[in-house]
Structure 1
Amino acid sequence: MTCSDLVVTKFVPSRGEAVRKTGKGSGSLESAQQFFGAELRHWRTTRGLSLRQLAELTHESYALIYRVEKAERSPSADLAVRADAVLNTDGALKRSWSRVEQAKAAAKKAPEPIASTLGLGWDSSTASTVGTVAGLWRADLSGVEPVVGAAWTPEAALDPARRWLSHDDDLDTSHRGGRRIGRSEVEVMWSMCRAFADADHHLGGGYARSTLIQFVNQTVLPLLAGTYDAETGRQLLTAAARLSDLGGFMCFDSARQGLGQRYYIQALRLASAAGDRALGAHILADMSLQAHDLGRPREALALAEAGHRTARDCGSPSTAARCSALQARAHALAGDRPATAAAMTTAEHELNTAQPDDEPFWIRFFTPEQLAAEFMYAAHDLGQSAEVQEHAPTVLASSAAMQRREVLAASTLASSYLPGTRSKFSTVDVERACDILTKALPSAAGLTSARGLTSINSVRRQLAPYHSLPAVQEVEQTFAEFATAGS
C-alpha cells in the first residue's frame, strides 16, 4: 500500500474496533433524543393525555411537544421537569434529558445550505449519481437539517422502483480523476460492509451509523473520485451501493425515515449503474420493510413485488423468499388473510430451493429462522395471537447475541398475551407478558434501535391498565434501571 492508502487503513485495524468507535457524536445524540421522545410519549399516553392537553399543562406549544416526541427537537430542562411533575414519572424524564445533554456535548454539527430534495431523484448518468451520493453523505456528516431531519414521502416511494425495472445498466462506469483505484481498495470496502452489517444486525442502526458516515466521507468518496476502468468502476459502485443501503437501513432503524429513504433511492441507483440485479432486489426489500414499518401497505407491497420480480429474474431464491415474506407482511398490514397465506407459502417454497453458498453474502442472514420471524410479524399484524406464539420460540432460540431481533420478537410475543386493537380473541395473560418482556430488557440495554424501543414501549402501554400488579411494577422497575444504565 502507498501513503495515499493511509486514510483507508485507519478504519481497518479490526472489525470490532472499527465498529466500537461510534459512542460519541451525532449518532448518540439522535439515540438520546429518540429515547426522550419515546419516554415522553409513553408517559403521556399512559396518563391518558393528548398532545394538546400535555402542552397546556406544561405551558408549552402543541408543536413543540409533537416535535420532541418525534425526536425532531431537543427537550429543555424546564420541559423535562414540568412534564415529570404533570405526568408523575418520579424523575424519569429529567434523567432522560441528562442523556440528551451529554450527547449534545459530544456532538459537533456544521449545517450548510443544501437543497431539501437532495437524494430523492434518479439521476440520468453515473457521474451525476455519484455527485448526488457524495452530497447526501456530506450533508449527513454535517447534520444539514433539511436532509437529516426530512420526513419519508410516499410520493417518492414508488418512482425509483419503476425506474429500476425499466433502466438499462450504465454503459460506461470508468472514471478519470485522482489516484488509480484497484481491487485492494474494493476489498477494503467489502470488508467494512460486512463489519457494519454485523454491528447493525446485533445492536441496531444507531450503534455504528456515525462511524459509517465517517468511513464513507473519508475513504469511499475519494475512491469514487479516483481513476479506474469500467470493471473496477462496477465493483466500486456495487460496494458503494451496499454501503448506502446499510446507511438507509441504519437511518430507518434509528427513526431517520426521510434520510433513510434517500439513501435507499441512491443505493438502488448505484446498483443499477453497476448492473447488480441481486443487490437491487435486496435494496427494494429493505425499502418495502421501511414502508411497512411506517404503516404504508400499498407502497410496501409494490416495492416487495418489484424486488421479487428482480430476484426471480436474476436467480436469487433467498432474496425472492424474503420479498415474498415482505409481500405477506404487506397483505397482513392491509388485513388480507388469504393473500398473506399465499405469499407465505411462496416464500417457504422459494427458501427451500435456495443454496446459501450460491447466494450473495448480504442475503445469507435470511434463514428458516428469519422466515419464521417474518411469519410471526405477519400473524401479529393480523391479530393471530396463537400463530405468533407458535413461531416465537423458533425465533427467540435463534436470536442469541442478536439483541435487536430478540427485543422485537420478545415484544411481539409479549403483546400477543395482552388485549390489543388487532388481537380480539386472544387469552389475556399479564403475568406471562411481563415475564417475557422482563427477560428481554437486558438485551435492550445495549441496543441503539428506535424500532426496538418502540416495540418495548408499545407493550408497556398495553400493560398500563394493569399498573397495580406486582409483575407490571417489576417491568417498570427493570426498565427504569436499564434507562439509568444507558445514561
Structure 2
Amino acid sequence: MAHWFGVELRNWRETRGLSTAALGEKVHLSGTLIQRIEKAERSCNAVLAAALDRALGAGGALTRLWRRVEEEADTKASDADKTPAVLPVDVSKPDALGILEQNPFPASDWSSVERRLFLTAVGGVAALSPLALAGLGADALPKVVRQDDIDQVWTASKLLAKWDNEFGGGGLVRNASLGLYHWATSLLDVSCPDHLESELFTAVGRLAIVMGASAFDAYEHDDARHYLHVGASCAERAGNWHLRASAMNWLARQAIWVGRPDEGLTHAENGLVRSDRLTPREQGMLLNACARAHAKMGHAQETLRVVGRSDESFSHARAGEDVPWMGYYDLAQHHGDTGHALFDLALQANDPPTPAGQRLQVAAVQRLQVAIKEHQAPYVRSRALSGTKLASLKMATGDPQEAVMVGNRALDEVGRLRSKRAVDDVLELRRIAAPRSRRSEVAELRERIRTTVQA
C-alpha cells in the first residue's frame, strides 16, 4: 500500500507539472524527501497526506489512499502486539549484525513508549505523531495553537535528540522523525496567539535542527541542509539568537564534513555575528567549528589561534546560563571538538615528522583523552568518535599497541550505533593501520573493523 501511495503521489505531482522540490516547498519538506515518499523509502502520515492532497488538488484521493496504508500497518502492528515476548532477530541478537544493519536498542532497556514506537515502525508506519507519542488519541491539527501543542514539539525534539546521541542518526531515529517533523511544521500554518508565536517558532526550529543533525549523521545531506535551514529561519522568526547559533554550528559542521570547509567557516562566522548575545559555551562551540574549518584547509596558525580563543571563551562558562539544548556542550565536548581540529593538523604535520608536529600530536592526544574520559553515558557517539580519532592518531604516529587497545574500545561503542560518520571514522582507522598490519594485533583490529562494518 505504501508503494501504491507513492506511485499515486508521483502521478498527481506530474499531472500538476510540479517538481519534487516545488511540491516539497508547499508542504515544508525537501524535494529529496518527496522523492523518497514516492519510492516508499520514507513513510508519510495522515497530516502530511492531507497536506499533499491539498497542495496537489487531489480531491481527497491521496487522503483516502493513505487510510488504506494505515489500515495495512495497523494490522501488522496488531499482529506484533499479540506476541510481545517475541522480538525480531536483529533486536534479540544485536551482536549478530554489523553496524549498518543492527537495531541498537537492547530490548531490556526499552520503555513502553520506545517499544511501541519500534513495533509501529517495523509494522510499516515509520512515523508516529507527537500526539500519539504523548499517549493521546489522534494527530489532527488544532484550530488554534495551544501551549500543550508546543510542549509536545519540545517533547519530540528531546526524545529524538536523546536517541540520536545514544544510537546515531540512522534506523529507528530517522524512521520515527518524519511524522513528528511534519506535524510540528504544520503548526506554523495554524492560527497562533501572539504571546505563543516566538515559543512556537523556537520549538519547531529546535526540532528541525535535531532532525538536521540526525540526517547529517545518516549522510542524508540534502535533507540535513533543508532541516537546518528551516531551523535557522525559525530562529530568525523567533528572534532567538541561541537557536540561530545552534543552526549555524550544525550547518558549519556538515559543510566541513562533506569537504567544503570554506563554506563551513562562513556559516560559523555568520553564527558569531553579534556574539555579545551568545553565552561563552555558544561562542566556544562556533569557534571550534571555525577551528575545524581552518584545520581542514591546512591553516595551522589560524587553527591554533582560534582554539586558544575557544579555550578562553569556555573558561568563562557558568552553570545555568545556557538554554537546555546546550547541555551537551560540557568539558568533554569542548575537548573533543578542539581535539578533532588538532587531529587534522597533527596528521598533516606527521609527514614528515617535525618537533612542531609532535607538539600538535601531544596536544591532540591530551584533548581526545579528556573527551573520552569525561563523556557521560548518553553521549555514546561522541565518545566513540573521539576514541576512533585517538586510535588513528596513535596508529599514525607510531604507537600501534596503544592504538589497538583504544581502537577496540571505540569499536565496542561504534557497534551499538547506526552512524555513517562513525563508519567513516573506523574505516579511516583501518586505512591508517594498513602499513602496520604485519603485527598480528593490528591485523586483528583491521579484520574486526571490516566485519563490524560489513556484516
* Shorter-chain TM-score tier: 0.5 to 0.7
Partner deviation per Cα, 1:209-252 (whole Å, 9 max, x = no partner): 211112223x3244334322223222222111111111111111
Tell me the amino acid that sits aligned with residue 195 of structure 2.
E
Secondary structure class of the residue paired with 2:320: helix
CA distance in 1, matches of 2:193, 2:406: 55
Please state how far the C-alpha of 1:474 moved relative to its aligned partner. 2.1
SS in 1 for 2:259: coil
Give 1:385 deviation, angstroms: 2.3
Once the 2 structures are TM-superposed, how far is the Cα of residue 471 of structure 1 from its aligned partner? 0.6
CA contact (8 A) 2:291 2:304 kept: yes
Q: Which moved more, 1:459-468 or 1:436-445?
A: 459-468
Could you tell me which residue of structure 2 aligns to residue 466 of structure 1?
Answer: 436
Q: Within 1, Cα distance between the matches of 2:153 and 2:250?
A: 20
Measure the CA separation in 1 of the matches of 2:228 and 2:216.
10
For residues 427-468 of structure 1, give each alpha carbon's deviation from its aligned partner in whole angstroms, at most 9, with x where no partner exists: x12222222111211211120111001000111112223333
* Deviation digits for residues 383-427 of structure 1 (CA, Å, limit 9, x no counterpart): 2322221112211112343221122111111111233xxxxxx3x
- Equivalent of 2:181, from 200, 216, 220? 216
Which of these residues, 339, 356, 362, is aligned with residue 386 of structure 1? 362
- Residues 1:452 and 2:452 aligned together: no
**Superposition pairs of residues 254-293 of structure 1, within 5 angstroms:** 254-293=218-257
Partners of 1:267 and 1:145 in 2: CA distance: 26
- Residue number in structure 2 paired with 1:227: 191
Q: CA deviation at 1:314?
A: 2.1
- Which letter does structure 1 place at the counterpart of 2:429? V
Asked if residue 139 in structure 1 is aligned to residue 139 in structure 2, the reply is no
Say which SS state the counterpart of residue 417 (structure 1) adopts.
Answer: helix
1:315 Cα offset (Å): 3.4
Mapping of residues 15-414 of structure 1, within 5 Å: 112=10, 113=13, 115=19, 117=21, 131=26, 133-134=28-29, 139=34, 142=37, 179-207=143-171, 208-217=173-182, 219-310=183-274, 312-383=275-346, 384-401=360-377, 402-414=379-391
The one-letter code sitting in structure 1 at the alignment partner of 2:199 is Q
CA distance 1:387–1:300, change in 2 (3 Å): same
SS at match of 1:416: helix
The two structures have a TM-score, normalised by structure 2, of 0.67
Q: Indicate conservation of the 8 Å contact 1:119/1:262, yes or no.
A: no
Inter-partner Cα distance in structure 1 for 2:337 and 2:425: 15
- Contact 1:115–1:146 (Cα < 8 Å) also in 2: no
- The answer to whether the 8 A contact 1:377-1:412 is kept is yes
Per-residue deviation, 1:480: 5.4
CA distance in 2 between partners of 1:472 and 1:397 (Å): 24
The separation in 2 between residues aligned to 1:295 and 1:238, in whole angstroms, is: 30
Aligned amino acid, residue 452 of structure 1: A
CA distance in 1, matches of 2:320, 2:298: 36
> Within 1, Cα distance between the matches of 2:150 and 2:428?
42
The letter of the residue matching 1:133 is H
Q: 1:472 to 1:289 in 2, by over 3 A?
A: same
Change (3 A) 1:347 1:415: same
Query: Is the deviation greater in 449-458 or in 340-349?
Result: 340-349
Q: Which amino acid aligns with 1:450?
A: K
CA distance in 1, matches of 2:229, 2:297: 25
Q: Take 2:372 and 2:38, find their aligned partners in 1: how far apart are those partners?
A: 37
1:442 matches 2:412: yes
Residue 287 of structure 1: how far off its partner (Å): 0.5
Change over 3 Å in CA distance of 1:400–1:358 after alignment to 2: closer
Q: Answer yes or no: is the 8 Å Cα contact 2:6–2:40 preserved in 1.
A: no
Gaps of 5+ in 2: 44-140, 347-359
* Root-mean-square deviation over aligned CA pairs: 3.1
Equivalent residues, number: 335
Q: Secondary structure at the match of 1:295?
A: coil
Shift of 1:278: 1.3
CA contact (8 A) 2:342 2:363 kept: yes
Normalising by structure 1, what TM-score?
Answer: 0.63
| Percent of residue pairs bearing the same amino acid type | 20
Q: Return the letter of the residue paired with 2:37.
A: S
SS in 2 for 1:206: coil
Asked whether the equivalents of residues 30 and 223 of structure 2 are also in contact (C-alpha less than 8 Å), the reply is: no
Residues 164-186 of structure 1: CA deviation (Å, up to 9, x unaligned): xxxxxxxxxxxxx9512211111
5+ unaligned residues in a row in structure 1: which ranges? 1-25, 27-104, 121-128, 149-176, 420-425
C-alpha spacing 1:137/1:413, structure 2 compared with 1 (3 Å): same
- Deviations 1:26-65 (CA, angstroms, capped at 9, x unpaired): 9xxxxxxxxxxxxxxxxxxxxxxxxxxxxxxxxxxxxxxx
Amino acid at match of 2:34: A
